[in-house]
Structure 1
Amino acid sequence: MNILITLCLSFAIFALIIWGLMHMRTPRFRMERAQFQQGLEDVIAGQADDNEWRVLISYPMRHDPPLEQLRLACIKIEEEEYTGSPPYLFTDAGLQQLRDVRERLLALPPQNEAE
């Protein structure tokens, strides 16, 4: 009798763990426009390090196509103008191009919350 109870309890606990794992969502990082803008401003002001720049451009922004286009523009700027030396991670031309990206970001129409 004890063996049957132990087996049933073990099965129930195992089933509960499997059910919990099946319904668990993976964590997602979602950068919003305000965060992207702040990151750009930090890079332009020389207050960001290489890690902060990597976070800014590394995650695709599928939730906001215009923001994704700006991220891709930043990657192109990085390919040509990135120095990586603090405090300014970019050449003067690169910083100006990042200022232009920031202006394009500020000119975007507000994002719908329903999307």
Structure 2
Amino acid sequence: MALYLLVLGVCVVVIGSVLVILMTASTPRYRTEPKDLLALFDKALESRVGETEWNALIGYPIRHDEYLDGVRRRAAHLMDQHGRRWQIARGKPLLNTTGQQELKALRDHLAAHTALRRS
């Protein structure tokens, strides 16, 4: 009987501890910052970005900064108009030539806006 109570007590303590930890833990938050978009655009211009990485950042709305969300939506629009998803596996650029030029302009605009905001 003592062994039964010992096992029951240990189980209650372990399960109770897990429940307390789960109830007090907060949900992780991810905030897309300008440096994240700039790094993604640089990788896309150098043809080093995969479709999954692109979709992970561009497909997720940015609710804390309306300007960044506008840049994200413009990049998504560029992918819809000029994207070449089927070419990525062959090591080709993510966007066609026109799309790459527009992405470079968008990247430069975001970099200038970020520099202006910091100063």
Question: Could you tell me the TM-score, scaled by structure 2's length?
Answer: 0.75
Correspondence 1:110 to 2:117: yes
Task: Determine which structure has the larger helix proportion and give its number.
Answer: 2
Distance 1:92 1:15, change over 3 A: same
Matched residue, 2:94: 89
One-letter amino acid matched to 1:71: R
Tell me, yes or no, if the aligned pair for 1:40 and 1:98 is still in contact at 8 Å. Answer: yes
Q: Percent same amino acid among aligned pairs? A: 25
One-letter amino acid matched to 1:42: K
Deviation for aligned residue 1:64? 2.6
- After superposition, the C-alpha distances for 1:15-56 in whole angstroms (9 at most, x for unaligned) are 211111111223333332112101101112223232332233
- Of residues 67-76 and 27-36 in structure 1, the stretch that sits farther from structure 2 once superposed is 27-36
One-letter amino acid matched to 2:110: L
Matched residue, 2:103: 98
| Structure 1 residues without counterparts, runs of 5 or longer | none
Aligned residues between the structures: 111
- For 1:7 and 1:47, locate their aligned partners in 2 and report how far apart those are by CA, in whole Å: 55
| Structure 2 residues without counterparts, runs of 5 or longer | none
After superposition, residues 1-115 of structure 1 pair within 5 angstroms as: 2=2, 3-4=4-5, 6-84=7-85, 85=87, 86-108=91-113, 109-110=116-117
Distance 1:43 1:21, change over 3 A: same
- For 2:100 and 2:39, locate their aligned partners in 1 and report how far apart those are by CA, in whole Å: 15
Deviation for aligned residue 1:14? 2.0
- After superposition, the C-alpha distances for 1:43-81 in whole angstroms (9 at most, x for unaligned) are 122232323322331222223321111001111111111
- What is the aligned-residue RMSD (CA, Å)? 2.2
User: Secondary structure at the residue paired with 2:117?
Assistant: coil
- For 1:40 and 1:9, locate their aligned partners in 2 and report how far apart those are by CA, in whole Å: 53
